[in-house]
Structure 1
Amino acid sequence: MFSQLALIAITSLALVVEAAPSLLLKRAGPNTGNETLTLLNHPHTVLSGLPSNNFAFSHKSGARPSFKGALVKYRARASDNENAYTVLAPGQTINFEHNLGQTYNLTNSGEGEYDISPRNIFYHHSLSG
């Protein structure tokens, strides 16, 4: 039923932000293809609302913030729960919002500019079987 699990890479994000106690990241992700995508809200993707380790950080000094979010063990399988998927029609855009200050400890890596890149792998559920 979920044997057609495929990996899809969507354009990655690179931002420069100021470190703050509550670092809120907002980003929009469009479907630039010609087909509707049914993406699994996997905890190891930015589609998940869980504070999981979905971003790579680097401070201009080379320091990296420590991860303090949720460690998630997850087994993907088909679900009839509509909340398990994000459906993205061609041309449609989904908005992401993550509070990185709750997921990463920026204290030791210091204030300043960071390069932040999200994981850009998504799990596509093919309805064709």
Structure 2
Amino acid sequence: MRIGRLIFALSQCIAISLAAPTQDLTMAPDPMKIYSTPLKVIMKVPNNRGTNKLIDVTVWINNPSERTYKILNSPTSFFDTKSGAERFNPKNKSSKEKPRFLGKSMKWSPKAALENGQYTMIGPGKTLHFRHKLENLYDFRKSGSGVYTLRPGKLILIADAHNNIALAKYSSLPPIDITISVARSSFVDGVSDQLVLRSTNETVHTDAIYIDGSCSAAGTPPNAREIIEESAALAKRVARRAQAHLNSHLQHQTWSPQLRTWFGGRDGVNIQTLQHDINAIAGEDYPRNYKAS
């Protein structure tokens, strides 16, 4: 009788253990180990028509298992859509140039995030989706047109029922290719600058090209002219400060930290062209030359 009860009790413990979230992390995790998860990721560039949504990447994360996972919303993960940290690592297939990263670096504490509830639970059979705006993270003008591969890292941080934190990885995260063409139109024809985007990958069978102007009349606010004039005045002040800073460092053999941030190394920059462009921007009277239509 006692043996029967013991077997029954053991079976209940096993059942509870199997149902526990991330059961392989119930003990203090090995900091050198990367745990495997069954989580699968699919990325897609949807058919967006709004200018602000032109370079949106939608991410689906599926949990095909019978286990619940607690995943920390780390800044470089898909689960955080607000921090503006690097996560997609876009690379131009035909050029060594990388798009300029517009986001930011930050200090982040996994333990503090867990204590503050900055995590996401994904239950058995559930699928979560997140939308990330690449236009808020990268400037593709320097790296130019071409096919870019988005290859995010597979590592995530997960926690068990006892809040032990460990590194883990997705079971599947196929990269996605996007084709970006930055077309600069002339100011004479009155046509807005446009961005042409085409996405292709193994999971999204589409080869459509999405084109949208940079300014839509239907979405223009009534105070658009005032906004443009204020922005132009601010741009002019910034350009003049940049002009003064550049001119004061032209005779130096090395760039200042600010110039390195703006233009990279001095050796790869045509000084005369750069000075001409900066002077032109600083001297342009945008508010007077702008014609509202």
TM over 0.5: yes
Task: Report Cα offsets for 1:21-63 as digits up to 9, x if no partner.
Answer: 8511112110122210010001121211211001121223133
> Aligned pair count?
124
Distance 1:89 1:30, change over 3 A: same
Higher RCO structure, 1 or 2 (CA under 8 Å, sep 6+) = 1
Task: Map 1:7-46 onto structure 2 (within 5 A).
Answer: 10-11=39-40, 22-46=54-78
Quick one: percent identity of the two aligned structures? 23
**Structure 1 length-normalised TM:** 0.78
**Aligned pair 1:64/2:77, yes or no?**
no
Task: Give the secondary structure class of the aligned counterpart of 2:111.
Answer: coil
Query: What amino acid does structure 1 have at the position aligned with 2:132?
Result: H
Q: Is the Cα–Cα contact under 8 Å of residues 69 and 102 in structure 1 kept in the other structure?
A: yes
Query: What amino acid does structure 2 have at the position aligned with 1:55?
Result: F
Return 5+ residue gaps in structure 1 as ranges.
none
Aligned partners of 2:147, 2:45: CA distance in 1, in Å? 6
**Aligned pair 1:85/2:147, yes or no?**
no
| Structure number with higher helix proportion | 2
Give the aligned partner of residue 102 of structure 1.
136
Query: What amino acid does structure 2 have at the position aligned with 1:38?
Result: K
**Structure 2 length-normalised TM:** 0.37
Q: Which runs of 4+ in 1 moved over 6 A?
A: 14-17
Query: What amino acid does structure 2 have at the position aligned with 1:35?
Result: R
Return 5+ residue gaps in structure 2 as ranges.
1-27, 164-293
Aligned partners of 2:131, 2:121: CA distance in 1, in Å? 17
Compute the RMSD of aligned alpha carbons: 2.8
Distance 1:16 1:47, change over 3 A: closer
Aligned partners of 1:115, 1:15: CA distance in 2, in Å? 12
| Structure number with higher strand proportion | 1
Match of 2:86 among 50, 53, 56: 53
Structure whose CA Rg is larger = 2
